[in-house]
Structure 1
Amino acid sequence: MKVDLFDFELPEELIAQTPLLDREASRLMVLDKNTGEIQHEQTFRSILSYLKEGDCLVLNDTRVLPARLYGVKQETGAKVEVLLLKQLEGDQWETLVKPAKRVSKGTVITFGDGKLKATCVGTSEYGGRIFTFTYEGIFYEVLEQLGEMPLPPYIQEQLGDQERYQTVFSREMGSAAAPTAGLHFTEQLLEDLREKGVHTAFITLHVGLGTFRPVTAESIDEHDMHAEFYQMTEGTARLLNDVREKGGRIITVGTTSTRTLETIATENDGKFVEASGWTSIFIFPGYQFKGIDGMITNFHLPKSTLIMLISALAGRENVLHAYNEAVKEKYRFFSFGDAMLIIEGSKQL
Structure 2
Amino acid sequence: MRTRNIGGTQVSCLGIGAMSFADFYGPTTEENSFAILDAARAAGVTHIDTSNVYGMGRSERTIGAWLAANPGAREGVHIATKAGITRTADGQRAFDNSLAHMEHELDGSLARLGTDCVDLFYVHRYQAAIPVEDVAGTMGRLVEKGKCKAIGFSEIAPSTLRRAHAVHPVAAVQSEYSLSTRLPEMGLLQACEELGVALVAFSPVGRSLLTDTPITRERIAANPFLASNPRMMEPNLSANLKIVEGFRALAAEMGLSAAALAIAWGLHKGGHVVSIPGTRSVAHFAELVAGAEAELTAEDMARVETVLPIGWCHGDRYSRDQSVGPENYC
Per the shorter chain, which TM-score range? under 0.3
Select the structure of larger CA radius of gyration: 1
What's the TM-score, normalizing by structure 2?
A: 0.27
Higher RCO (C-alpha 8 Å, min separation 6): 1
Q: Specify which structure has the higher proportion of strand.
A: 1
Structure with more of its chain in helix, by fraction: 2
